[in-house]
Amino acid sequence: MTYDIEVRDRLEVDAKEIIARYPRRRSALLPLLHLMQSEEGYVSPNGIELAAELLDITTAEVAAVATFYTMYKRRPNGEYSVGVCTNTLCAVMGGDQIFSTLKEHLGIGHDETTDDGRVTLEHLECNAACDYAPVMMVNWEFFDNQTPESAVGLVDDLRAGREVRPTRGAGLCSFKQVSRVLAGFHDGRADEGPAAGPATLAGLEIHREQSSAGRRRRTTEDSSDTDRAAAPSDGPDPRQGQSAHDAPAQTAESDPANTAAPTGDEDGTA
Amino acid sequence: MTATLTPVLSRTWGEDRSWTREVYERFDGYQGLRAALAKAPDEVTQIVKNSELRGRGGAGFPTGNKWGFIPQGGDKPVYLVVNADESEPGTCKDIPLMMASPHELVEGAIIASYAIRATHAFIYVRGEVVHVLRRVQAAVQEAYDAGYAGTDILGSGYDLEIIVHAGAGAYICGEETALLDSLEGRRGQPRLRPPFPAIAGLYASPTVINNVESIASVPSILRHGAKWFTDQGTDNDDPRKRSKGMTLYSLSGHVMRPGQYEGPMGLTLRELLDLSGGVREGHELKFWTPGGSSTPILTDEHLDVPLSYEGIAAAGSMLGTKALQVFDETTCVVRAVLRWTEFYAHESCGKCTPCREGTFWLVQILRRLELGDGTDEDLEKLLDISDNILGRAFCALGDGATSPITSSLQYFRDEYVAHFEHGGCPFDPARATLFATSQGARGR
Ligand SMILES: Cc1cc2nc3c(=O)[nH]c(=O)nc-3n(C[C@H](O)[C@H](O)[C@H](O)COP(=O)(O)O)c2cc1C
Ligand code: SF4
Ligand code: FES
């Protein structure tokens, strides 16, 4: 079986655009497989055949690549891929309990899909969000700091078609739509969602407390200690308006691991 | 004395719509590019050499030197590849950076490309973070629209194409030569070296591969100069024994306030914990990783070790990615090590025997040990297998797989023994969770 003419034509137009991005054709293979997945929700034999034809390589070569990467599905995926990070840190912080709760609640195991076709459950490796552990991903959007209860609520909402929003990300798209973004077709949703969550901003906030504590100190005591904290002369002054963000304090000559900046008073740094 | 944080890469992250060019430019965005284009490419490389910036992707190789290895004037095109595959367990700095300020990376990539005279820059983003991909795609588009990419960049005569490429889920693709194979449309398996990528990288052309944070550090160096960068960090007369500049420390696990902390190289975990409110209330530090799961674990003995390349190496581990995963006394070390080992076994690409077979057997033995069915001989076997992988594997994944095992046996052998004496795991996993209701749930 092959694709309908209409589907094939459409995929071919997109595929040509992908191939044109790269100096060499074969580099287009990973995005092409994402594109095929955006059509059928998995990398089907049809998709493998078309990718092989477009890149002028064998289907065996395409299949060897498709099976190497975990994001390419061999069976139709549910509308939502629900992943639970069970790498060590998330597992210890509760990811194991979340995953086993979901398995029981949904009655399915790893890489299985609910009968209604809504949810495919997976356990994931570290998704680079350990400061938000335990972490879940739905269609590759972040759901931070989950609990077994919040996870059950999440999958129930997904199955009932209620709106759910990622902690950091755009409004949820279907698995197929997301696969298209992965193929390199921007969907215009970059401006949705926040810049960062609270953990991402933790250091920045403490720095602000430090600097305002430093400022307070500077107005009350004119110590030479504070003067030494001046920013390098070729950089902006950390205490002046907009550029404050960009200039680290100088390190002390005697103790380079420590800065000579104002240390902040007790209440300012706790 | 309290250490001071120095947000540079993170300076815009708290701003509304920080990911846009408009906001980035309000914070001196693309001034580094303008400064670079006013100089000859080799001068830019020299400035980065002088800054002593070392790779933030794990190995700490001097970035400017890497750029300097690119042969110039040949007939092959030169490529820049940005490694945005961030997947080392515990590592979580590049993803939030690209989410909040993708232009910092894009600007750095353009400067780096100019310095090495690259025709194309590829940004290889791991696939499992779709919103980060969107932000990088949008930032690249904005850069083109503003004349920072494409032909005749800002009237300099320099042309550059930037391609954003999504991976498809494979930890090994973070290894630089596996990443190149993946980018060429193949299975991501490491290549034999030499030839090094600087000579024969992508499409057998000279290629520089750098981590996101390394590249994102470049604009600030161009804005403020190399000395500004070397004024931060640790000192030593021998340049190989010092670590310069600011960096992102990623704190996670059993701490009051996990997150990203940007400060000079060489802060200590104690300083970072003091700043951030410490280990979660009512608990104490048991073990931690300085730079992801592939770096040997450390304990409370090492709280005052400077987080610098040389400092952590002297303590018997590696700075890696500065992924500080903190575990308190409720955590079973055997469980933690088993899970990491399962990860390595799953992610082993299968190309070489010591890693493929070795990680499989390590998992079998650790499972037995966790269930309480292990013996003293099993502990020796773990060390023996690790010894056979370390230094014999084709790439550093195999070496990394042995780190949790050998270091945990060094510090916590008793706990392994307790498992088989106790006939099972003596820990209650519920107490270690974020939502543990017993004393000391995390406050915020
Ligand atoms: C198994 C393995 C996984 C790696 N994963 C990453 C990664 O996700 N991101 C990264 O930047 N470097 C990773 N590295 C390191 C890269 O091979 C390479 O050293 C680095 O990208 C070079 O950039 P830098 O010099 O700027 O640090 C990995 C290495 C190994 C062995
Ligand atoms: S060490 Fe492991 S991951 Fe690296 S080449 Fe060998 S089998 Fe592959
Ligand atoms: S361990 Fe779960 S996101 Fe890193």
Residue B39 has pLDDT above 80, yes or no: yes
Residue A211 has pLDDT above 50, yes or no: yes
- Whether A225 is in a domain gets the answer no
Q: For B119-132, what is each residue's pLDDT tens digit?
A: 999 999 999 999 99
pLDDT at position B264, please?
98
User: H-helix or E-strand containing B250?
Assistant: strand B246-253
| Packing angle of the helix pair A29-40, A175-182 (nearest 10 deg) | 160
| Residue ranges making up the domain that contains A129 | 80-173
- Whether A222 is in a domain gets the answer no
Q: Does B170 touch chain A (CB under 8 A)?
A: yes
> In angstroms, rounded to a whole number, what is the distance separating the alpha carbons of residues B280 and B258?
10
**Alpha carbon A40 to its chain's center:** 23
> In angstroms, rounded to a whole number, what is the distance separating the alpha carbons of residues B62 and B53?
6
Question: Which residue reads 């289907």 in tokens?
Answer: A59
> In angstroms, rounded to a whole number, what is the distance separating the alpha carbons of residues A137 and B162?
28
The tally of CA atoms less than 13 A away on the side-chain side of residue B127 is: 28
Residue B211 in contact with ligand 1 by CB distance below 6 A:
yes
**pTM for this one?**
0.92
pLDDT-based confidence at residue A213 (cuts at 50, 70, 90): confident
Boundary-marking domain end, from A165, A190, A215: A190
- Whether A128 is in a domain gets the answer yes
pLDDT at position A214, please?
75
Is residue A84 located within the same domain as residue A169?
yes
Q: How many CB atoms lie within 10 A of CB B169?
A: 18
Quick one: which of B407, B400, B332, B326 has its CA closest to B369?
B332
Phi, then psi, of B210 in degrees rounded to 5? -135, 150
Contacts 24+ apart (CB under 8 A), A32-36: A32/A183, A33/A62, A33/A65, A33/A66, A33/A69, A33/A72, A33/B168, A34/A71, A34/A179, A34/A180, A34/A182, A34/A183, A34/A184, A34/B127, A34/B166, A34/B168, A35/A11, A35/A179, A35/A180, A35/A183, A36/A11
- Whether A15 is in a domain gets the answer yes
Q: How many CB atoms lie within 10 A of CB B334?
A: 24
**Three-class secondary structure of residue B159 per DSSP:** coil
> In angstroms, rounded to a whole number, what is the distance separating the alpha carbons of residues B429 and B321?
27
Q: Ligand 3 centre and the CA of A83: distance in Å?
A: 12
Closest residue CA from atom 30 of ligand 1? B175
Residues 6+ apart with CB under 8 A from B259: A131, A198, A199, A200, A201, A202, A203, B250, B251, B276
Is residue A8 located within the same domain as residue A92?
no
Q: Which residue of A has its CA nearest to B321?
A: A128
Closest residue CA from atom 4 of ligand 2? B395
Judge contact between B267 and B195, C-beta under 8 A. no
Q: How many CB atoms lie within 10 A of CB A122?
A: 18
pLDDT at position A232, please?
39
- Whether A195 is in a domain gets the answer no
Judge contact between B103 and B143, C-beta under 8 A. yes
User: H-helix or E-strand containing B366?
Assistant: helix B353-371
Is residue A169 located within the same domain as residue A89?
yes
CA distance B385 to chain A (A): 22
Is residue A59 located within the same domain as residue A90?
no
Q: Which residue of A has its CA nearest to B221?
A: A235
Judge contact between A121 and A82, C-beta under 8 A. yes
> In angstroms, rounded to a whole number, what is the distance separating the alpha carbons of residues B436 and B444?
15
Q: For B199-258, what is each residue's pLDDT tens digit?
A: 999 999 999 999 999 999 999 999 999 999 999 999 999 988 999 999 999 999 999 999
pLDDT at position A210, please?
87
Is residue A47 located within the same domain as residue A68?
yes
Across the interface, whether the CB atoms of B253 and A133 are under 8 A apart is answered: yes
Is residue A21 located within the same domain as residue A87?
no
Question: Which domain CATH number covers A147?
Answer: 3.40.30.10
Instruction: Compute the C-alpha angle A125/B128/B210, nearest 5°.
Output: 95
Q: Ligand 3 centre and the CA of B1: distance in Å?
A: 32
Q: For A113-151, what is each residue's pLDDT tens digit?
A: 999 999 999 999 999 999 999 999 999 999 999 999 999
Q: Which ligand is nearest to the CA of B353?
A: 2
Is residue A98 located within the same domain as residue A128?
yes
Paired strand residues for B328: B285
Q: For A89-111, what is each residue's pLDDT tens digit?
A: 999 999 999 999 999 999 999 99
Provide the strand spans (E) within B24-181. 79-84, 120-125, 161-166
- Whether A248 is in a domain gets the answer no
In this prediction, residues A216-229 reach a mean pLDDT of: 45
Question: Which domain CATH number covers A52?
Answer: 1.10.10.1590
Residues 6+ apart with CB under 8 A from A29: A51, A55, A57, A62, A65, B185, B186
Enumerate residues 365 to 404 of chain B having a beta carbon within 8 A of any beta carbon in chain A: none
Is residue A134 located within the same domain as residue A181?
no
Question: Which residue reads 């815009």 in tokens?
Answer: B12
- Whether A204 is in a domain gets the answer no
Indicate the DSSP class of residue B297.
Answer: P
Q: Which residue of B has its CA nearest to A143?
A: B129
Residue B213 in contact with ligand 1 by CB distance below 6 A:
no
- Which atom of ligand 1 approaches the CA of B59 most closely? 19
Number of domains chain A is built from:
2
Is residue A71 located within the same domain as residue A181?
yes
Q: Which residue of B has its CA nearest to A22?
A: B163
Is residue A7 located within the same domain as residue A134?
no
Burial of B403: CB neighbours in 10 Å, binned 0-12, 13-18, 19+:
buried
Contacts 24+ apart (CB under 8 A), A184-188: A184/A18, A184/A21, A184/A31, A184/A34, A184/B137, A184/B164, A184/B165, A184/B166, A185/A14, A186/B134, A186/B137, A186/B138, A186/B141, A187/B134
- Whether A122 is in a domain gets the answer yes
Residue A81 has pLDDT above 50, yes or no: yes
Enumerate residues 229 to 268 of chain A having a beta carbon within 8 A of any beta carbon in chain B: 232, 234-235, 242-243, 245-251, 256-259, 261-264
pLDDT at position B35, please?
98
Portion of chain A with pLDDT greater than 90, in percent: 76
In this prediction, residues B95-124 reach a mean pLDDT of: 98
Is residue A33 located within the same domain as residue A152?
no
Residues of A in contact with B10 (CB under 8 A): 203-204
Portion of chain B with pLDDT greater than 90, in percent: 96
Is residue A69 located within the same domain as residue A84?
no
CA-CA distances (angstroms) from residue B245 to B36, B174, B212, B228?
A: 19, 24, 15, 8
pLDDT at position A212, please?
86
Q: How many CB atoms lie within 10 A of CB A205?
A: 14
pLDDT at position A217, please?
62
Boundary-marking domain end, from A144, A173, A202: A173
pLDDT at position A221, please?
42
**Alpha carbon A197 to its chain's center:** 12
Residues 6+ apart with CB under 8 A from A111: A120, A121, A122
Residue A220 has pLDDT above 50, yes or no: no
Instruction: Compute the C-alpha angle B129/B174/A60, nearest 5°.
Output: 90
CA distance A141 to chain B (A): 6
> In angstroms, rounded to a whole number, what is the distance separating the alpha carbons of residues B357 and B341?
12
Quick one: which of A54, A58, A25, A31 has its CA closest to A43?
A31
Indicate the DSSP class of residue B257.
Answer: S
Question: Which residue reads 């996990």 in tokens?
Answer: B258
User: Which one-letter amino acid corresponds to residue A220?
Assistant: T
> In angstroms, rounded to a whole number, what is the distance separating the alpha carbons of residues B287 and A62?
44
